[in-house]
Structure 1
């Protein structure tokens, strides 16, 4: 096994006295893990920050063996880790990626979306500039792993207009007319997930509520559920900011 790629740092776990097991998201090979000798050293700690892009080289004698990994910094997002909201968003997006994806399976759409999301966090002057991209990334993650929502038409009538809700059981869209009598039992469907573009905070929090329901129910279960704490911290900070 020999892979060279530009990759996004998603998770770093200390191993032994000085080393670290690092999970990177690559464009063609998906999530890959490798052992970095001296990964917790003063030199490599600022390189192995979640969200950074590194030039990575994995080498292993067999596919089953944990690869030896060497890295060189290609793009640093270290300054964002001193900004609480940006840091929380990066921590959640990369933790979700490292936890939910099977290793060594290609997900080029997810790699591109994660790279775009991190770029939006870096470029946007305020959190509302990247919050919609984060909700869409969660939605794409569900879809790529087989738990996609059907937001194309109303599950009850087949109508494609005025979709306002999602069934928490089926994950299918429901029109405003069909869903009105059951609104208290349905999840709001914010318009930006249908029409694209940005959104106001009420719609963004509806989006987080929607994707969070299905992430918790279908994807992050059992031992993986612990990663949801990073998401809860992020959403709580966003709500405090909005007031």
Structure 2
């Protein structure tokens, strides 16, 4: 069995004395692991940096084996990320969430495209917080927990949408909330559509998406808390707000 694809390096770890096991996110085969022979060498190790865009060739005797990769660097993102603390924290959050939430060998082509586009904005840090929020919304949608924020779940109204139902992920208006308002999540402006928003509003919006990632995906579906990399990024963003 063998295939070729491009992919984003999520993580790598030492395997034996000279090899590395890498976890990559590809458009056609989703999250996929494999061994890079000689990956710990001086020649190859600098290529295997988190966030790197790689040209991948995978081979195994049987499809369900871990297999081995040969890799070539298409684009490194390490220098850009290391040059800005917020960019580095954001990239680490993206990579950690992908490794945590995505099952192995299941394609997520639309999410892959959005992830690649997001990581390519690392050098435009002023655009990054809102782009990251849009990416988290796309991640929830891809995992089956998409938010429906266009109309009130109670009244059907499209205006004065103020809350989000923690059960359904649907918007709720001030009128529709009634006595249940204290049991609902806030619906910050940054979640409602396109525009320019402050970092503080984006942090508030990430608290709402974070509820669904934590409660619906992490604890209910996976059985573990979210990676700390996400909290570190939001803390870094909050300090800039």
TM-score, length basis structure 2: 0.91
Aligned pairs (5 A) from 1:1-243: 1-82=1-82, 83-122=84-123, 124-126=124-126, 129-179=127-177, 181-221=179-219, 225=224, 227-242=226-241
Q: 1:204 to 1:70 in 2, by over 3 A?
A: same
1:153–1:163 Cα contact (<8 Å) kept? yes
Alpha-carbon distance, 1:181 to partner: 4.6
* Contact 2:199 2:240 (8 Å CA) reproduced: no
Once the two structures are TM-superposed, the CA of residue 2 in structure 1 deviates from its matched residue by 1.4
> CA distance change for structure 1 residues 176 and 202 in 2, over 3 Å: closer, same or farther?
farther
CA RMSD of aligned residues (A): 1.9
Contact 1:46/1:78 (<8 A) preserved: no
CA pair 152-112 structure 1, distance change in 2 beyond 3 A: same
Structure 1 distance, partners of 2:199, 2:177, is 23
Deviates more, 1:14-23 or 1:228-237: 14-23
Runs of 4+ deviating beyond 6 Å: none
Aligned-partner Cα distance in 2 for 1:59–1:206: 45
Task: Determine if contact 2:200/2:238 at 8 Å carries over to the other structure.
Answer: no
Count matched residues. 239
- Alpha carbons of structure 1 residues 81 and 45: separation in structure 2 relative to 1, 3 Å: farther
Q: CA contact under 8 A between 2:214 and 2:226: conserved in structure 1?
A: no
Question: d(CA) in 2 for partners of 1:116 and 1:75?
Answer: 13
Q: Which runs of 5+ in 1 are unaligned?
A: none
Deviation at 1:27, TM superposition (A): 1.4
Using the size of structure 1 for normalisation, the TM-score is: 0.90
